[in-house]
Amino acid sequence: QVQLVESGGGLVQAGGSLRLSCAASGSILRIFAMGWYRQAPGKQRDLVATITRDGRIRYADPVKGRFTISRDNAKNTEYLQMDSLKPEDTAVYYCTANVETPDRYGMDYWGTGTLVTVSS
């Protein structure tokens, strides 16, 4: 089994910064794509950013130029640096990873989420 654990959420004022981390553990042979999604109250879960194993990155338009996704393959960890935060960034942030285990070539796993609250 594979577990993803997010950390780094919290309360921040508009214009501030937060850095989220997501550590994967378990029977991991290799992690392919990793990503971050977010879900605001009463809304659907939306893509924030993704990063492939070789570092190709994609951002959702609302966060371009403000958020930076990165990963450390040796530590099975990904990060989301969030700068110039806005109240509309308030959401539960979920990390995801596509993982190769001894049993499966690639399966998507999700973390349980970390709350980010941006006050105006």
The whole-angstrom distance between residue 77's C-alpha and the CA centroid of its chain comes to 10
Average pLDDT, consecutive stretches of 10 residues, N- to C-terminus, the chain (120 residues): 96 98 97 98 96 97 98 97 98 98 94 97
**Would you state the pLDDT for residue 64?**
98
In DSSP notation, 55-117 reads --EEE-GGGTTTEEEEEEGGGTEEEEEE-S--GGG-EEEEEEEEEE-SS-S-EEEE---EEEE
**Would you state the pLDDT for residue 49?**
98
**Would you state the pLDDT for residue 13?**
98
